[in-house]
């Protein structure tokens, strides 16, 4: 449901320099981030900060000609989503250190920043409707919330596998976080993401002059329906464990296809603007 218009052009020099700083710092943290040593954590924080600065430069159009507008496309949206997930992890790790998860997320951060450098998206001129920027922001926020839910669901599945193999202690996951707390966090992110996604779809329908069943609309509504079924299933029938996480993964994939998949095909395979 997030729209993108404009013409292709490369990212500015300042944005590229900051992005390379983020990639190098993330890469260092991913390669050396095991254990509790301090300097890999500092590298991770530097990567996260530089990543955020690069996003601000791109979406505030600080490195573009005046009036060019913010950059949007499949790679910038992936980059924002990953940064939001990394932010959630940064907050959680202050209470529960998760160095192995930090390494995986650092590698993910380096990858999405690299993809955003290769495919910087298109500068988007000022929106004709004042509601369109809010629609974009809500859509990206829903991606971030569901991304955080997927991260926690993967940890939950890993804990479940270890418990089935009797490799973990009862009630505690492999990352040192109590399983019930991990499960609650997972589905709090699902609930929050569902609320934000619902607001995104309603605002998109309300602010669109002429409704049409586009690829993005169909996949967004399918994703919304899957998340709605998951929430109802948990509340009415007590869905838990793998059944619940499979529904979550399915909804996340559908939502990813709604914008990122559509834009990837358009930008990379067809070399066309929206």
Tokens 């990206």 label which residue?
Answer: 140
pTM of this prediction exceeds 0.85: no
Task: Look at the alpha carbons of 16, 19, 21, 23 in this order and tell me if their dihedral is positive or negative.
Answer: negative
C-alpha distance across the termini of the chain, in Å:
12
Helix (H) or strand (E) holding 225: helix 215-237
DSSP labels for 64-79? S-TT--EEESHHHHHH
Q: For residue 128, count CB atoms less than 10 angstroms from its CB and return exposed for 0-12, middle for 13-18, buried for 19 or more.
A: exposed
Helix (H) or strand (E) holding 122: strand 122-124
The domains of the chain are located at 1-126
C-alpha 64/C-alpha 73 separation (Å) is 16
Q: What is the pLDDT along the chain (274 residues), one digit of tens a residue?
A: 443 333 344 557 888 999 999 999 999 999 886 555 678 889 999 999 999 999 988 877 676 665 555 677 888 889 999 999 999 988 888 777 777 788 889 999 999 999 999 988 777 665 556 667 777 888 899 999 999 999 999 988 888 777 777 654 445 555 556 788 888 889 999 999 999 999 999 988 777 766 677 788 899 999 999 999 999 999 999 898 889 999 999 999 999 998 888 888 877 877 666 5
C-alpha 40/C-alpha 198 separation (Å) is 39
């Amino acid at each position: 449901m997030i729209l993108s218009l404009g013409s292709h052009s490369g990212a500015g020099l300042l944005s590229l320099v900051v992005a390379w700083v983020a990639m190098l710092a993330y890469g260092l943290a991913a390669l050396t981030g095991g254990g509790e040593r301090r300097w890999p954590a500092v590298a991770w924080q530097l990567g996260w900060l530089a990543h955020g600065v690069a996003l601000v430069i791109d979406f505030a159009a600080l490195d573009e000609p005046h009036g060019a507008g913010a950059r949007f496309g499949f790679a910038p949206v992936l980059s924002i989503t990953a940064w939001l997930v990394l932010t959630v992890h940064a907050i959680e790790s202050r209470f529960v250190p998760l160095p192995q998860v930090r390494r995986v997320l650092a590698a993910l951060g380096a990858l999405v920043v690299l993809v955003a450098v290769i495919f910087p998206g298109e500068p988007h001129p000022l929106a004709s409707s004042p509601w369109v920027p809010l629609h974009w922001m809500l859509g990206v926020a829903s991606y971030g919330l569901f991304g955080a839910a997927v991260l926690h669901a993967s940890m939950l599945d890993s804990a479940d596998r270890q418990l089935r193999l009797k490799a973990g202690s009862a009630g505690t996951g492999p990352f040192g976080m109590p399983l019930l707390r991990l499960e609650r966090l997972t589905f709090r992110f699902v609930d929050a993401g569902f609320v934000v996604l619902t607001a995104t779809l309603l605002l998109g329908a309300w602010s669109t002059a002429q409704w049409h069943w586009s690829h993005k609309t169909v996949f967004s509504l399918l994703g919304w329906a899957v998340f709605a079924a998951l929430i109802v299933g948990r509340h009415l029938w007590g869905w838990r464990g793998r059944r619940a996480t499979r529904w979550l993964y399915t909804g996340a994939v559908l939502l990813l296809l709604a914008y990122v998949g559509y834009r990837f095909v358009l930008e990379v395979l067809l070399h066309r603007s929206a």
